[in-house]
Each structure stands twice: as structure tokens, then as C-alpha cells.
Chain A
């Protein structure tokens, strides 16, 4: 841990884990359904950032694909949930 980058990546990962904890608390606390959907969306974004820092730490581009997939899953699931809140069904 003596070079600046691995220390910085460790710090960044702790910060992102705390960020995910904040979104998790908001997800549990609610109070309304749209608050929870917003929290899920923010959690997906933080998870994507965490995966990118893992990729930098391992110097492996395999994590990049995972981050992309997490981003896509996050988009599709929040869009579907928001649509459900709007109409009561996802596909009309």
C-alpha cells in the first residue's frame, strides 16, 4: 500500500461502499415507493462505479463489461419500475 494509487483506490472503494450504504438506508426508509425506486437507481450507479474501481485495482478490463451490464440492468429495472408506478403495469 505504499504507492499512492492503490491507497487512493482503497479509499475510493470505502467511500463508494458508504455511498451504497446511504442508498440502502434510503431504500429501507422509503417512505414512498418512488423514493425506493430512486434509491435503487442510485445504488446501481454506485455499484457500477465500485466495479470500475475494482477493474482499476486488478488492472483487468473484464470488470468494464460487468460495469456496463450493471448499468444496463439498472436502467431497464428502474425504467420498468417507474413505468409500473405510473400505470400499474409494465407492458400495456
Chain B
């Protein structure tokens, strides 16, 4: 299926996907490895920023080429995540600080 992409673009999309998945993986490893809650809130945002961004870019490039028209609905996911992540983190950190009595 992906054979329809021109070789140069296929390599570019491949690199973007692996890089994005790599950032998400490092973020999740950080979530597992770091030692306190307040340190652990930072690495998962790598998955929601560069991890998500690179994979969405790759997906946009692939579908736009396959369907020979601009496919940009991935931007909706990006906007949605950019707007919702602060809400969950602010609530979660406030809950943690209250439970820790900070």
C-alpha cells in the first residue's frame, strides 16, 4: 500500500514516524524511570508534543500523496491535544499538590 509513495518521500515519512514513536517511547520510559511524581509529569508531554506532531506530519504527507489532494484533518487532532493537555495537567498537578499538602 505504501509502495505508491515516491522513494524519497517514503524515506522522509518513515524517518518522521520512527522519530515520533521514539520521542513517545522516551517519554514513557521517563514516566517509568524518574523518581518523584513532579519529575514524572514532564516526560509524557514529549509524546503529546513532538511524538504526536511528527506522526501527524508523516500521516498528512502520506495521505496527501496517496489521495493527490491536501489531507489536513490531522490538524484537528493537534489542535485538540494542544488545548486539552494543559487542562488535564493543571487539574492533576493541583490535585497532587493538594494531596501532598503543598
Contact = CB atoms under 8 A, between A and B. Distances in A.
Contact of B2 (A9, A13, A41): A9
Given A12-B20, A42-B47, A85-B95, A4 B10 contact: yes
B55 A52 contact: yes
Contacts of B17: 5, 8-9, 12, 53, 56
A24 B82 CA distance: 24
A64 B73 contact: yes
Interface in B44-67: 44, 47-48, 51-52, 55-56, 58-59, 62-63, 66
Interface in A40-92: 41-42, 45-46, 48-49, 52-53, 55-59, 61, 64, 67-68, 71-72, 75, 78-79, 82-83, 85-86
Interface of B: 1-3, 5, 7, 10-11, 13-15, 17-18, 20-22, 24-25, 27-29, 31-32, 37, 40-41, 44, 47-48, 51-52, 55-56, 58-59, 62-63, 66, 71, 73-74, 76-77, 80-81, 84, 87-88, 91-92, 94-96, 98-99
Interface of A: 3-9, 11-13, 15-16, 18-20, 22-23, 25-26, 32-35, 37-39, 41-42, 45-46, 48-49, 52-53, 55-59, 61, 64, 67-68, 71-72, 75, 78-79, 82-83, 85-86
Given A11-B21, A49-B55, A42 B28 contact: yes
Main secondary structure of the interface of A (DSSP, over half): helix
Contacts of B94: 82, 86
26 contacts: A5-B2, A5-B5, A5-B13, A7-B14, A12-B18, A16-B24, A18-B28, A34-B95, A34-B96, A45-B48, A46-B24, A49-B55, A53-B17, A56-B2, A59-B1, A61-B73, A68-B76, A68-B80, A71-B80, A75-B80, A79-B84, A79-B88, A82-B94, A85-B92, A86-B91, A86-B98
